Amino acid sequence: MKKMIFILLVIILVQVKVSAQCSDAGICSLGGNSHAQKADNIISVLYSYGTSGKGDDLKFNSIKVSTRFRVFEEVDLDLSLPYNFIDGPMGSVNGVGDLLVNLKRNVQTSLSSSIGLSVGMKLATGKTNEKNLPQSYQSGLGTNDILFGVDYSINNFSIGVGYQISSGRSDNGTDRLRRGDDFLVRAGYTKIFENDFLVGAELLIIKRMQESSVLTTGNIISGAEFVDVDGSDQLQVNLLGKILKSVSESLRLEAVVAVPFLKRDVNIDGLKRSFSLSLGAIVSL
């Protein structure tokens, strides 16, 4: 019966057209229900496909390799690095994306509850000026950002906040994008059934704290001024669904989907999606 439910959920996730509106700049990787973690040490491979929708008409393919391992008592280190493929009317770019590094400490407050404290960085390891294409085509965002997060989990529920400080500008020659900071509020529910069959849902509220700014022209040498982009400090509200199924004691399969309640209109950073689906495998070490 559970096998049939899992198959049906995967079919639903594959067929539903959604907009994954989370800030792929990194903040959505913070937090979550710590009681849903199966092992201290894991490695995962996740494939994602998405499109930006009408207007930009960009297509995104990404393969992300992540690992988490215990470095101290109750302290985990997460590392994540994608390889991105971006295609659009103006051309195609592929390359390594930005490296995400995150330290998380769980403090057990009772048998059923805990507090998670996270601090991390998004490092500008990806390309930002490939083929003289705009920032939205690039595999990296071009800034070294700092991330903070606090989460509280009790039984199947979790709630948390996060903040991402974006520093500097991308060296992209077309728009020299400077993004605003991101503030995140998240609330989630996770249910683990027999045979490690997990179903989870999260509500994510993400606010861009300042408007982003770009060059007034594409010519850096001319001394063009920077201007704020109207609407780039948008509010996003998203509902994320996740299912995981254990294939063996050391292997789990994962599918993630997101449905937006508020849509983004501005896509100068290339983070907007009008369709997105992620499928992957997680290996416990």
Residue 165 sits in a domain of what CATH number? Answer: 2.40.160.40
Write the pLDDT tens digit of every residue in 194-231: 877 899 999 989 899 999 999 886 555 555 688 999 98
Look at residue 229 and give its three-state secondary structure: coil
SS3 content of the chain, % helix, strand, coil (to 5): 10, 50, 40
Query: Which amino acid, residue 159?
Result: I
Range of the domain at 254: 2-284
Q: What is the pTM of this model?
A: 0.84
pLDDT confidence bin for 123, thresholds 50/70/90: very high
| Three-class HEC string of 115-150 | EEEEEEEEECCCCCCHHHCCHHHCCCCCCCEEEEEE
The domain tally of the chain equals 1
The whole-chain average pLDDT of the chain stands at 84
Q: How far apart are CA 15 and CA 243, in angstroms?
A: 15
What six digits make up the tokens of 39? 């092992």
Residue 41: CB atoms within 10 Å: 12
pLDDT reported for residue 176: 92
Query: Which amino acid, residue 205?
Result: I
pLDDT at residue 61 tops 90: yes
pLDDT at residue 32 tops 70: no
pLDDT reported for residue 238: 82
pLDDT confidence bin for 43, thresholds 50/70/90: very high
